[in-house]
Amino acid sequence: MRKISKKQFKNIKEWVKFALAIVCVVVFIVFFIFNVWSPVKKDTNVIVPRGASVTGMTNYLYKNKIIKSKGLFYFSIRLNGGQIQAGEYEIPRGAGIWTIADMISHGRVATTTITIPEGFTIKQTKNLLMNTSYLDGDVDCEKDLPVCKLKDGDVFPDTYRVARGTSRLAVLELARKKMESVKQSFDGVKYPKPLKNWNEVMVLASIVQKETPKKSEMPLVAGVYLNRLNTNMRLQACPTVVYALTKFEGDMHGEPLLSKHLKIDSPYNTYTHNGLPPRPIANVGLDAIRAVLNPAKSDFLFFVADGHGGHNFSKTYSEHEKNHDKWREIKKELNK
Question: Which residues make Cβ contacts (< 8 Å) with residue 243, sequence separation at least 6?
Answer: 121, 250, 268, 277, 281, 282
Question: 88 near 165, Cβ under 8 Å?
Answer: yes
> Residue 13: what pLDDT?
60
Domain extents in the chain: 24-106, 111-185, 198-298
Q: Give the count of alpha carbons within 13 A of 332, CB side only.
A: 6
DSSP bridge pairs for 304: 312
pTM: predicted TM-score of the whole model, two decimal places:
0.83
Spatial contact of 129 and 169, defined as CB atoms under 8 Å apart = no
Give the pLDDT band of residue 330 (cuts 50, 70, 90).
Answer: confident
Q: Is 186 helix (H, G, I), strand (E, B) or coil?
A: coil
Q: 13-29: buried (b, 16+ CB within 10 Å) or exposed (e) per residue?
A: eeeeeeeeeeeeeeeee
pLDDT(30) > 80: no
CATH of domain 24-106: 3.30.1490.480
According to the model, what pLDDT value does residue 25 have? 45
Tell me the per-residue pLDDT of 240-257, one tens digit each, with 9 for 90 and over: 999 999 999 999 999 999
* Number of residues that make up the chain: 336
Closest to 100 (Cα-Cα) out of 137, 128, 72, 119: 72
The CA distance from 101 to 91, in Å, is: 10
**Quick one: angle between helices 218-230 and 286-293, nearest 10?**
40
Give the chain's mean pLDDT: 90
